[in-house]
Amino acid sequence: MTDSDPAPTGPADSTPEPAPPGKSTPTSAYASGWGPGAADEIPSVPPDAAARPGATPPDGAARPGATPPDAAARPGATPAGAVPPDSAPPPAPPGAVPPPSGRHQPPGGYGPPPGAPRGGYGAPPPGGYRVPPQAGYRPPPRTPGDPLTGTPDESFAGWFTRSWGFFRRNWLPASLIAGGALLIPGVLMLVPGALLYARLFELSRLANEGEPVHPGGTLVVLYLVMLPLALLLLYAQSAAQVAIMRLIAREAVGRPRDIAADVRFGLRRGWVLGLWQLLEIPIVLVGFCACIIPGYYLQLAMSQTPALVAFEPGRHALRRSFRLMHSDFWPSVGRMLITAMIVGMFGGVIGMIAEIPMVATMATAAGPDGTVNATSVQLAPWLFGVFFVLVLVASAPGVVAQCAGALGTYTGLRAKEQDAPTGEELVAAME
């Protein structure tokens, strides 16, 4: 070997030169531990750096605050120079594009949704998320409906409100119509009714005294006189019902009142309703003979006859009433029963008030010693006739309430039909 030959190279000369003072030893691109080559990381301090004067001792050497050598033997401890298992990257799927160097990228999958805020959604609010007030299904707002017919989905409260409005706004003029219609036949029935009552009272007295009773032809004559008057009363009541329904319907749609026209309308169609009601009498009687309940059913099924005569002339009122009631049977039955209960309670109160003078009059007919007061006996039939007429007239508001409840039920049933008419169309059918 000559001096000109190059110096041999070997392991002794392969040690890199120490870094100048103030500069750190260069590290590789994988020193951060985030890349795929983190497991083969070259240590930033050479192994023999501890042998050099002033060099930094390697990890694990004795120094103040350093980890003792036996720390690697402790359970759960990471050996010196080893890479934690959780820092190893997951294996790349076949055909995947390697991530860029310098940072570990998460595996492919679903990305953030469009419009997601930068940095994530953050922690939920205290108490958790709440459903916003506008979320969920809400039924559409209900329309007020026709003032006469209401709405197809009307409840019991809606029916009662409409019917009560019919009565409240029209009870005074309608009561005048009903009272006048009942007063005229009542006065006409006063004289023959008083005579009939007196004759029956006389026959009862003779029977109680043990004397022979001979009714004779007087009773037959009185009954024959009372029969046409009873038919006149039925006609007057039917005409009043039809006239009151026209009055209420016109007021509901906003038309002006015309009581004279209402009365004329009732007189024209009252006889039609009277004939239908005459036909109802034997039908209902047969129903009551069949264990009573069928009689009530028939009464309820034929309860729409007055409204049908007023609004649908020319049709078979009984058949049409059956079909209407059975289209919504139980709600309609409940509404008509409520109407009948209100009218019945009102009539019962009027009857109790009228019975007070009747009982007082009959109490004075006999003296303390059992003798009969002739004056009281003669006045009793006439007082009975007067009280009968007063009860008829006082029951006029009950007739109005019955018409209001029946009209509310009829118009509610018509509103549920496929070709439901409006209130104006119903009123136009009566013109």
Residues 6+ apart with CB under 8 A from 315: 308
93 within a domain of the structure (yes/no): no
Q: Which H or E run contains 423?
A: helix 423-428
22 within a domain of the structure (yes/no): no
Q: What is the pLDDT of residue 351?
A: 86
156 within a domain of the structure (yes/no): no
DSSP 58: P
pTM over 0.85: no
Q: Spell out, as residue ranges, where the chain has pLDDT lower than 70.
A: 1-113, 115-117, 119-122, 127-144, 216, 361-377
237 within a domain of the structure (yes/no): yes
Q: Which of 193, 226, 199 is nearest to 215 (CA)?
A: 199
Inter-CA distances, 189 with 35, 161, 226, 317, Å = 117, 38, 7, 30
Separation CA 14–CA 8 (nearest Å): 11
413 within a domain of the structure (yes/no): yes
Inter-CA distances, 275 with 232, 317, 400, Å = 12, 11, 21
Separation CA 273–CA 83 (nearest Å): 105
Residue 370: left (phi > 0), alpha (psi -120 to 50), or beta?
A: left
Q: Which of 403, 284, 408, 400 is nearest to 335 (CA)?
A: 408
Separation CA 265–CA 427 (nearest Å): 12
End-to-end CA, the chain = 142
5 within a domain of the structure (yes/no): no
Separation CA 255–CA 148 (nearest Å): 12
Domain count, the chain: 1
375 within a domain of the structure (yes/no): yes
DSSP 389: H
Residue range(s) defining the domain that contains residue 222: 163-428
Q: Are 39 and 88 in contact (CB under 8 A)?
A: yes
Q: What is the pLDDT of residue 385?
A: 83
Structure tokens at 68: 């003792």
78 within a domain of the structure (yes/no): no
Separation CA 407–CA 175 (nearest Å): 16
